[in-house]
Structure formats: structure tokens, C-alpha cells
Structure 1
């Protein structure tokens, strides 16, 4: 018998005690769960009239939010003599009176949508399109049936869908009919390419044809809608993405009620706060929040919000970054009065914003300031000039506002920050600049205040962003 030391004995006892706990959490079978939820999962077949459509198969359709990144999950059939194309996907029933959820790209452009229920159910039932949301790739259908078995949405938040939790996917992979696969939550809060992305990543096998199918937790609740896979081959390699139920439920409710989405709109353009901005923004203690770069006419302007404000709290939620703010605003109802806290000039200010509707909001251009004669000069490795007609033609500028960078020292800090010729500086130190004297004054004020960097608002092609430019070369 081998000799076991005291430390090794204690370790062995701990492992022996710990192992049964993991065994108890592992399901012995998924059969009961599959039997419970299968009647609510459907196959979807669409038919579309096409004109010479011979593009590559197995990629996301043109216009999908995932077009440049991922293979979609639906196979597309060959065109027949009448130039018709068929496609397959999946979905699931969410009410006994026939509402069905799937992906927008499964039914996009379809002339006919047919639903096939679980074996033993109704075959080939026509479905009506209730509404779609391309931003989240979600669609809602309706069939004229009653008393259907249905499933409910579950909690996809951190407490309800932890990394490592078991999940089960169902759908119609590669047109093979109803199929079940199991895996775990591999990651959370994945963003692919959409504004409202909140994806659950899973290693449960999903393939083309699984699009729109449900991702279940172990209670038989839908915590995600299978939407995309990452694969160099077009088949599952264990990296699949399901739009979280936290996003889907709100979209589905709006589509059922209005036939379209009605998202809240704050009316600002924003960017993330970066660590190098901490010293440049008075009162900023960490790289959290959303930095306002532009406030066109709209809800935020009406509430008194200004460019350069850092949104730190929205509707009682501390804002970590722009992605979180966009998601919260988009999920808020139109017309809601929301308390917003911003950091301005080193102090917190409380504002009340009445949200507009994103889908109908229109940007309104700012009036151009009076033209100022050019005064070229050099600062911090930048050669600057006020806007002239010649510079507008040279750099394709559409505004007389700000100072144009006409040259840049390639070895300067400004160049390392990504500034280039043709960029337009419209603010320095969170104040507008319309002359070289304005810019020089901002530098002096920052230096006198003991700051080591100056915050610039820079526009390129009309898109604004903040850059913290070091005053110490």
C-alpha cells in the first residue's frame, strides 16, 4: 500500500466529496426535456420568386446584420424552371393561438411561408407575417390554429443563464427535420455587428436550417433564438450564437402589438470613454459612461444635454459603456420620462428626458457659423486652418465649422492618435473653436489648470469622435 501524506489525504478527501456534486448537476438524459418542448418547435419552409439568383449558398443574405461576418443557418434550394427559390428554417410557438417566433432572414422576401409542426401535428400550415425587426433579426408569424402547445421565454440574464449552464437547441438542421443537440452556455453578452446585439454563445451543435429555432434552459424555457454560427467550413464547429431572450421578448411584444418596433430615442451621438480621457475631462474618475459627441434637435437637447457631457446614469442604471446605454434606451418605451445623470464641468447634473421614437427620428443639421478668414498655424504637430472654400473642395467638407488639419507631423502624438489631414476640430477643451486664437486659448487654459492632455472633438466625413491629445510631447 502506498504511503499517503496528511496533505495528500486531505486533498483526496476534498476531491471525493466534491465529485458527487458535479455528477448531481449533470443531466442523465435530455429525453424528458426534449419530449416536453418538441411539440412547440416548428420547421419553416419559404418560397420566393427570384430573377436569376445564383449567388453562393450558405452565406447570410444581402442586407442581413451579419452579412460580412457569419454564415447563416438556412440552406437555400435551387431555382426551378419558374425561377422560384425555397429555403428552410426553424421557429417555435409562443402562444396557443398560433404566434410563432423565427429569424427575419429565414422569411425575408418570402412570397409563401409554410409551417410544419412536430410529427403528428398539422403539416404545411400557411403562416402570416406579423412583423419583423432586421436590427435583431427577429420575426413574428401567425397561423390560424387554436390550442397549440407553446413554450415561454426564460431568464437569459447572468443569474438565469450562467456560463457553463446546460442548454438544448432544437430545429431543422440542413433540412433533416426535427433535431436536438445539447451543450453549455460558452459565453454571454456577445456582440456581432448589430446595434442591439446581446448574444449567448453556445457549443450546442447548430447548423444551417437551425435559424430561428429555440435555445432552451433545463426548465424548458427559451433563453435564446439560434441565429448565427462562426465556421470556416459552413458546418458547426461548436461556436453558435443565439439572440438572448432579454432582447427578443421586448421585440416580440412590440411586433405583436404594433407590427413593428417602437424603440426609445435619446437623440445623441455617443462614444466610449477611454482611459486617456480621464485626465482630460474634469471630475472623471474612471473610463465608464458614454461621452456625448453631438446633440441634434430632439429629446436630449430639449432636456438641456450638451456635447461633452458624460452620461453616467440612465433610468437608475449606472452606464458602463455606449453599448449598454444604446440597449437600455432602445428597450425603453417611447414617451417615457427618464432621469439621466451627466458629468459636466466636473459636476454631476440631473436631467429629465422624454424619449422620442428612434424609427421616426430625423437628424437636423446645425446652422453653419459665419465664415472666418483662414489663419494657418502649427500646434502640437498639427497645421491648422479655418475652413475655406478651397479646403472644402480639397477635403470634401460639408460644413464651415471648426479648424481643418492641413498637415500633420508623422512623429507627433497627434499622428499616433489617428488624426489625419482633412480632419476637422470643432471643439477643444469641450468648447467650440472657430479660430486659431480659440484653439491657442484652449491649450493655455488646459496648461494653466495643470492638465496634461486636451480633449478635442474631431469630425471625419461628418462622424464625430473625441480624442484626448497629450500636451506633453
Structure 2
């Protein structure tokens, strides 16, 4: 199970799926209003349920336990430690373990090998043919899958398809028959405070129901889930609930339980479910093709911050700025450039980098699409034929982080309290830049330089300033003066560290040349 935890100084979050791994465990409301003579009271809403029993009785036959056997790579020492752990705390035990480690050394016990592991999760039928939705992390690496029905029947199941990006998977029972099933509901307008009911297999205890409310929606958990705005619910979700359904009061599936936020690994009232509207599209694609094909641009993008917007003369911070363009990507072929700000896709406004990622991911590979970008202060339409997202797009991006040494004595003192040196071919090659790429290699940075508050450091390369490529220190000075003449207090820089480019802003309100 993936879990979130707390510390005394800070809240430390670690996303955790709600699966269980066998040997390896993962009266009226009253509101006070200022200046009011009487408090405002709200009567309990009509139709509030006295019991969820009828709902649960109807839908529970469609909910199953998912038992998985998989192969895991472990070391012999880890196996023994797992056995000896049960004796931890007995008198003399720690001394015995230390002697054993000293005598055993690193020998054959540490040789990696595989062994059988068992894990538990939940799922639910979405068709009478036996298709079942669960989480990808529940069945990841499975060699055997078994589902247990409410009536106790144990049925073999086979994998249909998985989508790690949304943590969804579809399996299907092998035995033919007609099975009770439930349906996703994407048309309902869930509001914060609406009742929800979660069913599943927490801690291996099948057929468990919990109730709560929708605490929030549109939650972004980051990590490996860039395509998902999660529902946050306070119905108890624990280890083993992963893949189970979240219902509304009409027995419609509004979400798929997938993660919790917890300092202990158990429910503290903060659980997350994949919304039905996303689950519908993903599961349909998995049933049809066994995978989900997403559109791909081949760019690295960032949110446009308030300072970035000010530096470019935008009236608000929105859209996504392109930091890098893969050489073999659809974006490169379409003419998108580093520094372009994506404002909309097919007429739909882009709010930030996440919204662009999701919009592009929803496009059909091979389709032609209209991108509105901001380039050199002007809006421009560009037609882009998106490709199919590779299984591992990061593998297509160079990740080196070293730069060949340069003679800092040749560096020229420049504005912003930094010494700079024009790029040479060796540095361009080491940093994965084109042979004719402009840029200035950073040497010494003064203690009072505003660049110290950014990602710029000695060995970084400043590729552009205010959208203009930098071939000399004079170019940087000119970019600063141009921004000041437009009444701007920040300058947008494209900075290369290793083989990654990011945009940052630097304050120029007090900058002077040495």
C-alpha cells in the first residue's frame, strides 16, 4: 500500500495504494455570521439516509476480492531477516543477529533470487461477461489471479490490460457465465458533502462497506498520476480496498478506490478515488486494445508563474511554457520551439502544465490539432499532428548532468553579478545542444547576485533572456535594458543544467553592470 505520513516539523506525503501484500506488507447545523442578531440554522436535508443497507445489499454481489500471486526478487538475507523479525525484542536476540551478520559476510545469501509473493485487493464487475476493474498496483507482476465472489466462489481470472498512468487495470474471469455487475456514472454532478459508500476487501476482510462524504474533488497527487484529478473521500479506505468501487446513493460507481493519505498506513479519513469519467475511457480502451494510447508532443513543459507572466507581458499566469523539445518529436516537426507558451489546444484554454498534459494525452495519435501559442509576445496558431506516447518517454530524453571544464579566467564580468563565457563546441556537445546553439556559460556568481536565488550555478548555461538568444554578454545587457524599458521587474531566462532546460525569472529592478 502507498501511504502518506506526518512528522513533527512537516507534513511528509508519500502516495500509497490501498492494496495488501502478503509476506511483504505494504441536531441542525449552526453557522455564526458576523453582525447577525440570530445564528443561521439549516435544517437537515430531506432524503438523508437512515441506513445504507438497501444500497449495499443491491450492489455488493458485483464487488469481488482479488487475490494475486506474483514473483518478487529478493535476497537470501532478506528472507531470513523476514523470518527472524518475529523474534525481535527477545533478550539476546540483537546480539545474536550482529554475530550472525559478522560471520556470514556478504556470501551467497545476498545473491538476488525470486520467490512467490501474495497480495490482496478489490475489484468489481462492469459487465455480465465477467470483466472486472481493479488497480494496476494490485495485479502488477501477477503470475496468477483469483477473484472471490460474495457467495464464496473462487474463480480464475486473466489479465486484459493495464494502465500504470492512471493505476487502472481490467481482468476477466475465465469461467463463462453471467455475472452481476454495476456501471460507471459520469453524468452526475457530485458536490462536496455528498454521501458516498465504498466497498472492498480491507486487510483481506471481504465484503466490507464504509460510508462518508465527498470531501473534495480535483485533487492532484503528482507522481506517476499526471492524468488524474482524484476524488477525496472520508469513507474509510484501508489496505486491500484498492480497486474497489465508490458508489453514490443511487448505486452508481462514481470512483475507483486507489490511495490513502495516512501517517500509520490505516485510514484517517483521507482517501482518494479515480473519478468515473476517467475510468470509463480507460477501461473501455483496455477492453478493446489491452492498452491506452495517448497523444504525445515530445516536449518538457512548465507552469507559467506570476513572475514569468509579468516578464512576458501577460495579464495573468496561465498556460505552459515549453522548456525543451525532443529532436525526433511531433512538436519539433510541427515547429514548436523552446520558449513558446501553450495557451490553448483545439480552442480549450490551458490553465497550467498539468492541463496541457491531460489535453494532449486525450488526443488521438495521428490526429491534427490546433495549438495557440505565445511566441515573441504575439499569439500564433500552429497545427500539430500528435504521435503516440512511448511507454517510457523519459528514455528519449538525455539525462547527463556534467559539463566539461572551462577556463573561468577567460570569463567576462557581466550584469546580474555573474561572469560569463560564450559556449564552445565541447560544452555544446556535452550538454546535448545543437552545434549552432547560442548561450553563455556561467562562471563565478557574486554573493549578492539575484541569480543565487534561482537554479543558476557555476557550470550552468543561460541560453536566452527575454526570449532572445545570448551570443555575448552584451546580449544579456541588452535584454535587461529592453525589459526595463517595458516597465518589467523580472527577466525570463532559459537555463541549461546538464542536459535539462528550465525557465526561471530573475529580478532586474536593482541590477547594474559592473
**Shorter-normalised TM-score: what interval?**
0.7 to 0.9
* Between 205-214 and 435-444, the greater mean CA deviation after superposition: 435-444
For residues 460 and 196 of structure 2, the distance between their equivalents in structure 1, rounded to whole angstroms, comes to 49
Q: Is the 8 A contact 1:47 1:85 kept in 2?
A: yes
Aligned to 2:116: 84
The 3 A distance-change label for structure 1 pair 352 and 391 is closer
Which residues of structure 1 form unaligned runs of 5+?
Answer: 1-7, 58-81, 366-371
Q: How many equivalent pairs are there?
A: 425
Question: How many angstroms does 1:268 deviate by?
Answer: 2.0
For residues 187 and 294 of structure 1, the distance between their equivalents in structure 2, rounded to whole angstroms, comes to 34
For residues 88 and 175 of structure 1, the distance between their equivalents in structure 2, rounded to whole angstroms, comes to 6
For residues 380 and 427 of structure 2, the distance between their equivalents in structure 1, rounded to whole angstroms, comes to 39
Q: How far does the alpha carbon of each residue in 1:381-434 deviate from its partner, in whole angstroms, 9 at most, with x for none?
A: 2222223588789xx745474222222123222212342222221111112223
Question: How many angstroms does 1:96 deviate by?
Answer: 1.1
Question: How many angstroms does 1:102 deviate by?
Answer: 0.7
Aligned to 2:412: 376
Secondary structure of the 2:263 match is coil
Q: Is the 8 A contact 2:411 2:443 kept in 1?
A: no
Question: How many angstroms does 1:171 deviate by?
Answer: 0.4
For residues 59 and 412 of structure 2, the distance between their equivalents in structure 1, rounded to whole angstroms, comes to 71
Q: Is the 8 A contact 1:37 1:220 kept in 2?
A: yes
Aligned to 1:5: none
Residue 157 of structure 2, aligned match among 102, 108, 127: 127
Residue 352 of structure 1, aligned match among 370, 383, 402: 383
Aligned to 2:18: none
Q: Is the 8 A contact 2:324 2:500 kept in 1?
A: no
For residues 471 and 133 of structure 1, the distance between their equivalents in structure 2, rounded to whole angstroms, comes to 46
Aligned to 1:161: 190
Aligned to 1:252: 283
For residues 255 and 97 of structure 1, the distance between their equivalents in structure 2, rounded to whole angstroms, comes to 15
Secondary structure of the 1:252 match is helix
Question: How many angstroms does 1:239 deviate by?
Answer: 1.1
The 3 A distance-change label for structure 1 pair 425 and 40 is same
- 1:105 aligns to 2:141 (yes or no): no
Q: How far does the alpha carbon of each residue in 1:336-365 deviate from its partner, in whole angstroms, 9 at most, with x for none?
A: 222221122332222222221112667488
Matching of residues 276-315 of structure 1 within 5 Å: 276-282=307-313, 284-296=314-326, 297-315=328-346
Question: How many angstroms does 1:84 deviate by?
Answer: 2.6
Secondary structure of the 2:142 match is coil
Question: How many angstroms does 1:51 deviate by?
Answer: 5.0
- 1:140 aligns to 2:173 (yes or no): no
Secondary structure of the 1:359 match is coil
Aligned to 2:61: 39
For residues 375 and 406 of structure 1, the distance between their equivalents in structure 2, rounded to whole angstroms, comes to 7
Which residues of structure 2 form unaligned runs of 5+?
Answer: 1-34, 83-113, 399-405
After superposition, the CA RMSD in angstroms is 2.9
Give the TM-score normalised by the residue count of structure 1: 0.82
Q: Which runs of 4+ in 1 moved over 6 A?
A: 389-393
Q: Is the 8 A contact 2:318 2:351 kept in 1?
A: yes
For residues 224 and 449 of structure 1, the distance between their equivalents in structure 2, rounded to whole angstroms, comes to 50
